[in-house]
Amino acid sequence: MKKDKIKIVTIGGGSSYTPELIEGYIKRKDQLPIKEIWLVDIEEGKEKLEIVGNLAKRMVEKAGLDWEVHLTLDRREALKDADFVSTQFRVGLLDARIKDERIPLSHGVLGQETNGAGGMFKGFRTIPVILDIVEDMKALCPEAWLVNFTNPSGMVTEAVLKYGEFEKVVGLCNVPITHNMMEAKMLEKTPEELYFQYGGLNHHHWHRVFDKQGKEVTSLVMDKIFTQSENTVQNIFHIPFFEEQIRDLGMLPCAYHRYYYLSDDMLQKELEEYAKGETRAEVVKKVEAELFELYKDPNLKEKPEQLSKRGGAYYSDAACELISAIYNDSRLDMVVSTRNNGALADLPYDCAVEVSSIITGAGPKPINFGKFPPAQRGLLQVMKAMEEVTIEAAITGDYGKALQAFTLNPLVPSGKIAKTLLNEMLVAHKAHLPKFKDAIEKIEKGDLK
């Protein structure tokens, strides 16, 4: 039964994205009868939580709403009787992301937050933590929905479904929304005047575009992409895809496919930034510092424009839209990470996929995408296998599985480089990898080379 008043918890509440989340709730004040918003963080994030939490309170007050905004470091206190829990945390903070990018690049290997070695290590650090959160939710708010946009979102969602055995989870990403908005603009339409069908994995999907009469206009979008400035997202270099390859796909790739279709070019760009001390993580750290200086201003009572430079635009708004769609059983069409249930015929039934879905009061219902042609299918199945092995490694701390995941990943050279890189990154991140304690001790003693 629909509750008259709801409690929403955000874990990682001290994030620079939180003002966008609060703005999203305020925009939907007539759709969501919010009573309490709890922003949760850890001791290391206490100062940021206070700064951004006070801004959130000012935003709610300015909107004339009587919502209670609570700030806490006690996750269990916050979770008790929650209706929705959103997660936007980063284990190891931005310094861990800097290591994920710079260590691979020091070996001439691509370093990126959710792809390659860096993406796998983000999974190693994050998956045990999300499973701890799920255990708390089972005890304190078993009926709540978990809305995750902690990266790697697809792997995190699959870990919760398979190993957390918690069905009420949805993974979110801003990339499909960004594509929809850019491509609609190219065709001089609004996103609502088009239908976008997505299928694949988080940061690794393809899509097709149709008009309201049911005519496919994917090729028209390609015409625009290859004659105008190409669509991409804030944090990915603008290197044009090869037109012949994309035309052959017959579908539009995700912006992150540049790392797979244009690996050498993307690596070269990253190496140039690495040499200047300007990897994406280092740039983001500076942007975040500037944002928090703005957030401190007691006269600031709205989301600042500068937040758009942070990357991840529309993330928080998508989370608010998803929560509203579940609460109101609105049957909205959204792209989410959810259990496959046969929507993608080329992948296991029980795995997590990112796919166009109808959002109901009972959660996402994925829309059948069918089978992929061989070019997409081959890459997709390798990536899914890599995700499955990465999740297993994260949960078990098994060194052999971690090495197996590195070997499967198309962006990591196999052999000695893979092993050297794995060892160096395990030691660098040891404070946030308790599952790998035994392997790290062996590496430090020189027993694992």
- Separation of alpha carbons 148 and 9, rounded Å: 12
- Separation of alpha carbons 255 and 243, rounded Å: 14
Q: Which residues of 377-403 are buried (b: 16+ CB within 10 A; e: fewer)?
A: eebbeebbbbbbbbbbbbbebbbebbb
399 as an active site residue: the answer is: no
- Separation of alpha carbons 83 and 81, rounded Å: 7
- In 172-288, DSSP assigns E strands to 194-201, 204-211, 252-253
Contacts of 165 (CB under 8 A, 6+ apart): none
Contacts of 147 (CB under 8 A, 6+ apart): 84, 85, 86, 87, 169, 170, 172, 319, 322, 323
Residue among 256, 259, 314, 315 flagged as catalytic: 256
10 Å CB burial of residue 41 (0-12, 13-18, 19+) is buried
- Separation of alpha carbons 345 and 322, rounded Å: 25
Residue type, 149: F
Q: Name the 3-class secondary structure at 170.
A: strand
DSSP-derived letter for residue 14 is: T
Residues serving a catalytic function are 256
